[in-house]
Chains A and B, each alone.
Chain A
Amino acid sequence: MTGTVQVPTWVSRVTKHHLFWPVVALVALWIACGIVSPGFLDVKIVDGHLFGQLVDITRNSVTFLLLALGMCLVIATGGIDLSVGAVMAISLSVALTYIDNSGTGEQAGTALIAIALALAVAALVGAFNGFLVSGLGIQPFIATMIILVAGRGIALAFTGGQITTTHSAPFKSIGSGFVLGIPTPVVIGAVVFAAVAFSVRKTALGMLVESIGINRTASHMAGVRSRNITWLVYVICGLLAGLAGLVYGAPTMAADANNIGQLMELNAIMAVVIGGTKLDGGKFSLAGTIVGALILTTLDRAVIIFHLPSESKDLFKAIVVIAICIAGSERLRESVGLRRVPRLPEPPASRKSVEVAA
């Protein structure tokens, strides 16, 4: 899907691919980091485990990726899910509160039940969002804003207003463990990505989601179960957000309902958009969300490498988003089909070089 098709005009094909600018930005960032901090690009194997800055970045990007995958599908249906950050907080609060109360946190069974419980609650919240959107026909922005506003309150209600801290090695391992030398979160991210990509592209879900996002009425008239599909997509998004909350919170084992997942909905949306999916719905790119998630995580890391105050990372995010949006803005993007679509004659694309500051 990265579009390096070897045809005579491959250069123009590649530069017009929707992932071109995001990938260029990511590589440029990595190279810049590599120059400033020579060890940046090294990946070592210590005790059979992969270590290195890139490994860290990949591990940290999993939270964004999980959120962005669900968000990407939701956005493709023409919706948006603002509640994912709050869902992260709820899911982590549920899991840790359960472990805390069970008193048998070190048993794998307890951890599994906690995870299942947390994911079930997350899926339930997703179902609630989906019901508001597809069942009652409320605008997605406002429907999911309800959980965004109320969600942290709910999470606080679970933890009783405390920051719940507890111990559970099996639970902790989903955030900081290794599987065959690869960090567990990376494995989780890869498995989830594969599962989502498979179920979207190997079934008709992808096409139907796109058709709903482009023209809901027409899709309905063609017999597409637009309500059920929309609903399903919100449930998936909630579920993945719940999982993201667990992966994110597991290393610290502290459910800080006020702060976990703060602004995550915006980061997730940003990852999706950087990855080349339009907010209007319709065509979407799952591969793009990986790139988007990696860019965001790299930025966080780059700030440290460049010895910049860590407070400035928001600024860089803003600059990168602006740069990528402008580079990919209409002249370049409008006539270019967003994904695997053969193109029509199109206006001479005006090339603007992206200046990726960092």
Chain B
Amino acid sequence: MTAQTVSEKLPTKKTPTVQTSQWWRRLTDRRYLPTVGTVATLILLLVVGQLRYSTDDRSFISARLFSNLFIDNSYLLVLAIGMTFVIISGGIDLSVGGVVALTGLVVAKLLEGGAPLPLVLVLGVLVGTTIGTLIGVMVQYFKIQPFIASLAGLFLARGLANMIGTTAIGIKDEGFASLASWKIKFGEKPDIWYVNLSMIIALVVLLAAVYLLHYTRFGRTVYGLGAGDNGQAAGLMGLRPGATKMWVYVISGTCAGIGGLLFAFYTKSGYNLSGVGMELDAIASVVIGGALLSGGVGYVLGTFAGVTVYGLILTICNREGLEIWWNRILIGVILLGFVLLQRVLVAKRR
């Protein structure tokens, strides 16, 4: 505590900061370093991909690459964004994979029963919101550790999904199918790429999250919760940490609901075993995106970069034609790499 006092007791005469060096100072600011690392890795992966997989008439880095990446991973992005809120607040939400399965099944079952599409979509998202609220209540009002509360949420969601059905239910609703396959085409052959509905939804969620987390008092309270004193300081500052803590889980649950919907768009079915381990993918992406699991540090855009890195790794695995289990091992190794990288960065800035 006393380790830093002398050099800047009361800095009454500090030279005014030169404007030009501002961005560089920002870049090396300890708060931004993990995210800078993520972006650097992203660039590295792109360069490696570009050098290895580009052919004379086709570049690896292309609109097509990113289009495919987000067609495959938009649901993960939404899950990870919700997770970002929870992790910054110093919590964890293990329920999201279960919620994805439950949402998918609820949607499939309701559509099978002939319920109107708009209602089904809203209900699907509300499934997530409900589970999230339940976790939030347990965490906030019963002071149950987030890990356990969301674990209960996971089992609850999986249990309910199992009750609904243990076989995959295909979604044949025409309206749903047309939403799922709706896309705008860009570019000319051979560089055709698409923007589909899932990508647009994910983008909207992303923008909403940036607004909420970075431009509102609520967002600042989320960071305050992660300061390591369980929101005490935030409370003493007159913010409302209690309600915020609860809302964080509601947001994550809702994102999981939306993610479940996007996953249903992607697979055009509902299945009680889908989304197993998806919470880990989401957490991994958030961590790769520069958030600290201890809370208080992280960015929505960092998470965006994290999901992109995650998707790129899978793409590269695929291109290398590796056996399927190498996927898991490689993601583990990359995760290890990231954790070590962050560790080094943290050590350096001390």
Contact = CB atoms under 8 A, between A and B. Distances in A.
A280 B325 contact: no
A142 B162 contact: no
A307 to B, nearest CB: 14
A139 interface: yes
Nearest to A315: B159
A215 to B, nearest CB: 14
A311 B155 contact: no
A326 B144 contact: yes
Contact of B163 (A147, A262, A315): A315
B335 A145 contact: yes
B163 A309 contact: yes
B14 interface: no
B339 A312 contact: no
Nearest to B92: A141
A133 B48 CA distance: 31
B162 A314 contact: yes
Given A150-B329, A321-B152, A329 B143 contact: yes
B155 A146 contact: no
B160 interface: yes
A146 B329 contact: no
B326 A153 contact: yes
A330 interface: yes
A137 B280 CA distance: 21
Interface string B324-350: 111111011101100110010000000
A175 B296 CA distance: 46
Interface of B is mostly: helix
Nearest to A314: B159
A142 B293 contact: yes
A325 B142 contact: yes
Interface in B263-306: 272, 276, 280, 283-284, 287, 292-294
Contacts of A280: 145
B148 interface: yes
A315 B156 contact: yes
Contacts of B158: 314
A150 B331 contact: yes
A273 B159 contact: no
Contacts of A329: 142-144
Contact of A317 (B159, B163, B293): B159
Nearest to A329: B142
B328 A153 contact: yes
Interface in A228-250: none
A266 B152 CA distance: 10
A138 B152 contact: no
B148 A273 contact: yes
Interface in B90-139: 92, 94, 138
Interface residues of B, number: 46
B147 interface: yes
B309 to A, nearest CB: 14
B147 A269 contact: yes
A270 interface: yes
B166 interface: yes
A210 B138 CA distance: 26
Contacts of A309: 162-163
B294 A157 contact: no
A269 B329 contact: no
Contacts of B283: 145
B339 A143 contact: yes
A103 interface: no
A325 B148 contact: yes
Contacts of A72: none
Nearest to B98: A314
A322 B152 contact: yes
Given A145-B283, A266-B94, A325-B144, A150 B328 contact: yes
Most buried by A among B153, B326, B331, B332: B332
Interface in A112-157: 132, 136-139, 141-143, 145-154, 156-157
Interface in A145-187: 145-154, 156-157, 161
Given A145-B283, A278-B145, A279-B145, 7 more contacts: A132-B339, A138-B339, A150-B329, A154-B329, A161-B323, A314-B158, A318-B152
* A-B pairs, 9 with minimum CB distance: A150-B332, A315-B159, A311-B162, A153-B328, A314-B159, A153-B329, A156-B325, A318-B155, A318-B156
21 contacts: A132-B336, A132-B339, A136-B343, A139-B293, A143-B339, A145-B283, A146-B332, A149-B284, A150-B333, A156-B328, A157-B325, A161-B325, A266-B151, A278-B145, A279-B145, A315-B155, A315-B160, A315-B162, A316-B159, A317-B159, A318-B156
Interface of B: 92, 94, 138, 142-145, 147-149, 151-156, 158-160, 162-163, 166, 272, 276, 280, 283-284, 287, 292-294, 323-329, 331-333, 335-336, 339-340, 343
Interface of A: 80, 132, 136-139, 141-143, 145-154, 156-157, 161, 262, 266, 269-270, 273, 278-280, 309, 311-319, 321-322, 325-326, 329-330, 334
